């Protein structure tokens, strides 16, 4: 972390990048780090660039900057395992590039990489960085970092959390973060989302082995009038089915792109994701299908993983 802190101190312009279709941890890492640097070094120009996270838009808006801004600048890419997934590909225009991540390392892009694969959230790493470098923590920075910690740990339900995770949460709460306020912001649904949840619960499929999944085509997304992000987040709607330790949402995006959100309460599933142009954590991964014709093959492989897991844990 000393190398990262030295670079932050050195550069006057710092641009923080995130991945495409950002989630709460990505947003929390970007805005949390921005606010930390601004509070510690008010004279520096700090920007966040990339895509929009609808359910975390309360943390702030992305900055719009020109290519010239990258001249002599430091780019910090957070919560993104591969360079191709960065929402703004101009990161390579910067003079120096740092990668900070917690996913399985498959792409050592940038000039310097700091990866903690055991960390449940990138915001946990950013918080540790702030403590080590004595960056000035503010209520806004703590709120952003806590948001990422809460969302990427499933509100502290996933087995990726450690005692250190709760120490980080406790540290952030000292700066005035109100957990109830965040819960209210994350828990309220629109009427359209509630109707979509009803559709998911009425139309998900489940294999004999215990793999549950929902197919979210473009016509469904448009019918219910929700954003792509809101539709893709419905993977959690089928997360509590008894006898189904693995579940997934197959989401069709504009341009016939089919992305998979794959989740598990036991079996390791990132290896399956890697077979389908993806990857991620052992129990939370993403992948993609070339066409809907590939769906049956994926379902059979996922079902086989569930079957093996159940046989080994009888």
DSSP calls for 243-255: T-SEEEEEEEETT
Token pair, residue 273, equals: 């994701």
pLDDT at 160: 85
Q: How far apart are the C-alpha atoms of 22 and 192, rounded to whole Å?
A: 21
Whole-prediction pTM:
0.83
Q: How far apart are the C-alpha atoms of 258 and 253, rounded to whole Å?
A: 6
Q: Which fold has domain 192-312?
A: Diaminopimelate Epimerase; Chain A, domain 1 (3.10.310)
pLDDT at 27: 97
pLDDT at 104: 82
Enumerate the domain spans of the chain: 2-186, 192-312
pLDDT at 159: 79
pLDDT at 88: 96
pLDDT at 166: 97
pLDDT at 158: 82
Q: How far apart are the C-alpha atoms of 68 and 58, rounded to whole Å?
A: 29
Q: How far apart are the C-alpha atoms of 304 and 310, rounded to whole Å?
A: 10
Q: Are 249 and 213 in contact (CB under 8 A)?
A: yes
Q: Are 152 and 165 in contact (CB under 8 A)?
A: no
Q: Which CATH architecture has domain 2-186?
A: Alpha-Beta Complex (3.90)
Residue of 46, 124, 59, 51 lying closest to 86 (CA atoms)? 51
In the chain (314 residues long), the average pLDDT of successive 10-residue segments reads: 95 97 95 98 98 91 97 97 94 97 89 95 97 96 97 86 95 96 90 96 97 97 93 93 96 94 93 90 90 96 96 90
Residue of 281, 276, 275, 267 lying closest to 313 (CA atoms)? 267
Distances (CA, A) of 34 to 10, 14, 49: 15, 9, 11
């Amino acid at each position: 972390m000393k190398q990262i802190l030295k670079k932050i101190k050195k550069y006057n312009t710092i641009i923080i990048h995130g991945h495409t279709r950002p989630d709460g941890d990505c947003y929390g890492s970007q805005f949390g780090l921005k606010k930390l640097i601004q509070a510690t070094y008010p004279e520096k120009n700090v920007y966040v660039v990339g895509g929009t996270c609808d359910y975390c838009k309360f943390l702030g808006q992305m900055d719009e900057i020109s290519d010239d801004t990258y001249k002599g600048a430091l780019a910090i890419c957070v919560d993104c395992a591969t360079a191709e997934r960065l929402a703004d590909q101009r990161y390579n225009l910067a003079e120096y590039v740092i990668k900070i991540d917690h996913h399985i390392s498959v792409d050592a892009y940038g000039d310097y990489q700091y990866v903690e694969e055991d960390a449940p959230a990138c915001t946990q790493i950013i918080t540790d960085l702030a403590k080590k470098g004595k960056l000035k923590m503010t209520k806004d920075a703590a709120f952003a970092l806590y948001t990422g910690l809460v969302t990427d740990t499933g509100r502290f339900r996933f087995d990726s959390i450690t005692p250190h995770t709760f120490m980080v949460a406790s540290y952030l709460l000292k700066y005035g973060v109100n957990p109830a306020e965040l819960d209210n912001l994350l828990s309220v649904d629109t009427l359209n989302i509630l109707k979509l949840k009803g559709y998911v619960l009425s139309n998900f499929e489940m294999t004999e082995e215990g793999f549950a999944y929902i197919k979210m085509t473009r016509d469904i997304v448009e019918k219910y009038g929700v954003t792509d992000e809101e539709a893709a987040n419905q993977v959690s709607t089928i997360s509590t089915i008894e006898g189904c330790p693995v579940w997934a949402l197959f989401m069709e995006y504009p341009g016939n792109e089919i992305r998979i959100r794959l989740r598990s309460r036991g079996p390791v599933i990132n290896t399956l994701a890697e077979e389908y142009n993806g990857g991620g954590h052992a129990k939370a991964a993403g992948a993609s299908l070339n066409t809907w014709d590939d769906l049956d093959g994926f379902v059979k492989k996922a079902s086989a993983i569930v079957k093996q897991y159940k046989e080994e844990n009888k």
